[in-house]
Chains A and B, each alone.
Chain A
Amino acid sequence: MTRYGMVIDLDRCTGCRACMVACKVENNTPVANLWMYVFRFEEGTYPDVRVNFMPRPCMHCDNAPCVKVCPVGARFKRADGLVATDYERCIGCRYCEVACPYGVNFFNWKEPAKSQYLDGKDATVASVTGGAVPPYDNPDLDAPYGTERRRIAGGGQLKGVVEKCTFCVQRVEAGRLPACVTSCPVQALVFGDLDDPKSAASQRLESKRSFRLLEELGTRPRVHYVGGRPPTAESRQIEAVRAKV
């Protein structure tokens, strides 16, 4: 049976962050909600300094702490491996966010329509978009998905709920790849069925030594990293990111 996963090739990643932009455009996430984020690390001291990059989507864990702690079952694990958020059931308690060791959950701190990069009411913007707000609204995001028929796709759906990376469920169920994967210029991200040994993702996973993030916590992530090394206590972020809502 199909069980999706992602393989991220750290030898290939150049830290261009095209995946982050693709994610925001596809999923319409509010300002500062970075479902996909690319760490840019440096290690060591001058002149002996190393730089490396590490994309961080949701890990879609098989033993997900966020699923365990959700008091209302809004966060759930699908049979195909995806960890999804039913934004119609979420009460916004943010327990998933606190329980997740990877920092991939994002709360909608204000009305999503007021939290977009483009101000749809701005005269210049409106003249181009014809007044559609938000200008890049994607109807696919509002449909129910999966055997459960629950609304789990897209970001910026509602104030006061938690949202996170969905592996672009609206694209995957239509037989396409997640936005971050298609936009990667060096094919560092590979998505596919990890239960099928012939899938591109499985092949890439077999090709090199691999690791999973914080594997010692027993979360069993479905995102595998090949090449490179996991960040250590010495890894510093090159730029201290503190995104503002």
Chain B
Amino acid sequence: MAAHRIARAQPLPFGVGRITPGWSMIVAILLAGVLVGAFAYALQYTEGEVVTGMRDIGTMGGAPWGLYIAFVVYFVGVSFAGIAVAAIVRVLDLERLRPVARMGELLAVISLVLGALSILADVGQPLRAIVNLLRYARPQSPFFGTFTLVISGYLFASLVYLFLEGRRDAAILARTPGRLQWLHRLWASGYRDTPAERERHERASYWLALAILPLLVTAHSTLGFVFGLQAGRGGWFSTLQAPGFVVLAGVSGLGNLIVLAAILRWALRAKQVLDDTVFRWLANFLLALTIVYLYFLLVDWLTSTYAAPAADARLAAVVYTGEYAPVFWTSVAALVAAAALLFGQFARRRYSLALVVVAAVLVNVAAVGKRVVLVLPSQTHGALLPYVPGTYEPTLVEYGVLLGIFSLGALLLTLFMKVFPILEVGGHHAEVGS
């Protein structure tokens, strides 16, 4: 039966291959953003990182890690939801979330690429980094988890997963003659959707999903270890860092996925596919993770204020009532507001797409703010020797590079949508049993 469906030629779905003026305009804007980023980075590359706001700890009174690292954490965090949702759909057979599975996978792949670019933007010797991080990789360094493992392992697994999950749709699309046929043929790579092939495919995807889930927890935990294993500064050394990173990654990732799904629902007029059930599931998922994270914040607050060692207590004061208080409390307020919005809808069993999206945006604001508060204060105010407190003020170059990285991500997403359907076309799961 399925073979028949494939045999029938259809026009390419979801606007694939059709260039519209609106789409071209978006691409132009994003390209401009990428160019700004490239220019800013070129400046940094030739002049050195003196053009950023970062400086050495100690006698230079600065922070050697700044916005770049905060956004490495953010981007890698976003990848969480993507691949988590996709894998959970597969492992738990969660039919309702299937429509967002592919955009989840894509989000994961793209945000991991952006995370890698942010690392390269941060290091002083980017070309060397690409080689040395693999050639001389030391698993004893928590940074191994961030770059070597996440980028080469996690990204690779996600790419394979995206490829496998897309093969059937590619086979369907490859039946339609056109300029993109070669690409769809390449992606399908010989896949013909015979029952035996399908069976094998299902099994491969299932095991890969099962393998990705622990890799996911490991990857986000190691990112937490980058900070949580460091006792040399006040504020970082904590067992809660690793689980906190995993949960906040989920929060920001789901937030991103909700926003993306809402935009696609509107842009592709896909109300039927991305129906309210999808958003209800995502909203509840997000609510659960947000509550867990708020609980972590509470535990952290109590631990760092009740009878903490002097250095940690000093740092807690800087975060809760001092220099970083505005960023910290804005983030907390955004999280609480998002949780309240989501809980209200959950309790009344009535969901409004607009409110879910508002909550999703709020948690992302909080996620960025929380990462800044995590990365910076321990560097500027966490010294255990009596150095003067440091300062850090990001420069236009840093904002420019980050704008470029964000634009590149959005551009990749926009381009992908025109060469491959971002929503499933095959009606995959319903036919597996037949």
A interface residues (Cβ-Cβ under 8 A, vs B): 32-34, 37, 39, 41, 56, 65, 68-74, 89-95, 97-111, 158-162, 213-214, 217-219, 231, 233, 235-237, 240-245
Do A56 and B385 have beta carbons less than 8 Å apart?
yes
**Is there a chain A Cβ closer than 8 Å to B59's Cβ?**
yes
B interface residues (Cβ-Cβ under 8 A, vs A): 47-50, 54-61, 64-65, 119, 122-126, 128-129, 132-133, 135-138, 140-144, 147-148, 226, 230-233, 310, 379, 383-388
Q: Taking A65-B231, A91-B124, A92-B125 as given, write out 4 further A-B residue pairs in contact, using a Cβ cutoff of 8 Å, ordered by the A residue number.
A: A32-B60, A71-B144, A91-B126, A158-B125
- Distance, CA A109 to CA B64, complexed state (A): 10
Using CB atoms, name the residue of chain B closest to A39.
Answer: B386
CB < 8 Å: which of B122, B123, B384 contacts A214? B384
Do B132 and A72 have beta carbons less than 8 Å apart?
yes
Which residues of chain B are near A72, meaning CB under 8 Å? 132-133, 135-138
- Distance, CA A91 to CA B143, complexed state (A): 12
B197 to chain A, nearest CB (A): 42
Do A101 and B233 have beta carbons less than 8 Å apart?
yes
B140 to chain A, nearest CB (A): 6
Given contacts A161-B124, A241-B59, contact A213 B132 (CB under 8 A): no
A37 to chain B, nearest CB (A): 6
Given contacts A102-B385, A245-B60, contact A71 B143 (CB under 8 A): yes
Do A103 and B59 have beta carbons less than 8 Å apart?
yes
CB < 8 Å: which of A65, A93, A103, A158 contacts B58? A103
Do A65 and B230 have beta carbons less than 8 Å apart?
yes
Which residues of chain B are near A240, meaning CB under 8 Å? 388
Do A41 and B136 have beta carbons less than 8 Å apart?
no
CB < 8 Å: which of A93, A100, A102 contacts B143? A93
- Distance, CA A221 to CA B374, complexed state (A): 28
Do B125 and A90 have beta carbons less than 8 Å apart?
yes
Which residues of chain A are near B60, meaning CB under 8 Å? 32, 106, 242-245
- Distance, CA A92 to CA B136, complexed state (A): 14
Which residues of chain A are near B226, meaning CB under 8 Å? 95
Do A109 and B50 have beta carbons less than 8 Å apart?
yes
19 contacting pairs across A/B (C-beta < 8 A): A37-B59, A71-B136, A72-B136, A74-B132, A93-B119, A93-B143, A97-B64, A98-B65, A103-B59, A104-B58, A106-B60, A109-B49, A110-B50, A158-B125, A241-B61, A243-B59, A243-B60, A243-B61, A245-B60
Majority secondary structure of chain B interface residues (helix, strand, loop or mixed) = loop
Which residues of chain A are near B143, meaning CB under 8 Å? 69, 71, 93, 95
Using CB atoms, name the residue of chain A closest to B379.
Answer: A98
Which residues of chain B are near A92, meaning CB under 8 Å? 123-125, 128-129
Using CB atoms, name the residue of chain A closest to B390.
Answer: A242
CB < 8 Å: which of A94, A95, A103, A106 contacts B387? A103
- Distance, CA A73 to CA B54, complexed state (A): 24
Which residues of chain A are near B310, meaning CB under 8 Å? 233
CB < 8 Å: which of B54, B137, B383 contacts A71? B137
Which residues of chain B are near A159, meaning CB under 8 Å? 48, 124
Do A94 and B64 have beta carbons less than 8 Å apart?
yes
Using CB atoms, name the residue of chain B closest to A97.
Answer: B64
Which residues of chain A are near B122, meaning CB under 8 Å? 93-94
Do A41 and B142 have beta carbons less than 8 Å apart?
no
- Distance, CA A140 to CA B125, complexed state (A): 24
Q: Which 5 A-B pairs rank lowest in CB-CB distance, beginning with the nearest?
A: A92-B124, A160-B124, A103-B58, A101-B232, A110-B48
Which residues of chain B are near A91, meaning CB under 8 Å? 123-126, 128-129, 132-133
- Distance, CA A114 to CA B363, complexed state (A): 44
Which residues of chain B are near A242, meaning CB under 8 Å? 59-61, 388
Which residues of chain B are near A217, meaning CB under 8 Å? 231-232, 384
Do A103 and B383 have beta carbons less than 8 Å apart?
yes
Do A89 and B55 have beta carbons less than 8 Å apart?
no
Do B142 and A160 have beta carbons less than 8 Å apart?
no
- Which of B47, B136, B137, B144 has its CB near the most chain A CB atoms (within 10 A)? B136
B181 to chain A, nearest CB (A): 43
Which residues of chain A are near B65, meaning CB under 8 Å? 94, 98
Which residues of chain B are near A34, meaning CB under 8 Å? 59
Given contacts A65-B232, A72-B133, contact A241 B388 (CB under 8 A): yes
- Distance, CA A160 to CA B48, complexed state (A): 7
Using CB atoms, name the residue of chain B closest to A34.
Answer: B59
Do A107 and B137 have beta carbons less than 8 Å apart?
no
Do B385 and A101 have beta carbons less than 8 Å apart?
yes
Which residues of chain B are near A100, meaning CB under 8 Å? 57, 232
Which residues of chain B are near A111, meaning CB under 8 Å? 48
Which residues of chain B are near A160, meaning CB under 8 Å? 48-49, 123-125
Do A236 and B125 have beta carbons less than 8 Å apart?
no
- Which of B138, B310, B379 has its CB near the most chain A CB atoms (within 10 A)? B138
Do B48 and A89 have beta carbons less than 8 Å apart?
no
Which residues of chain B are near A74, meaning CB under 8 Å? 132, 136
- Distance, CA A214 to CA B122, complexed state (A): 29
Which residues of chain B are near A89, meaning CB under 8 Å? 128, 132, 136
Using CB atoms, name the residue of chain A closest to B135.
Answer: A72
Which residues of chain A are near B49, meaning CB under 8 Å? 107, 109-110, 160
- Distance, CA A10 to CA B38, complexed state (A): 51
CB < 8 Å: which of B48, B133, B141 contacts A108? B48
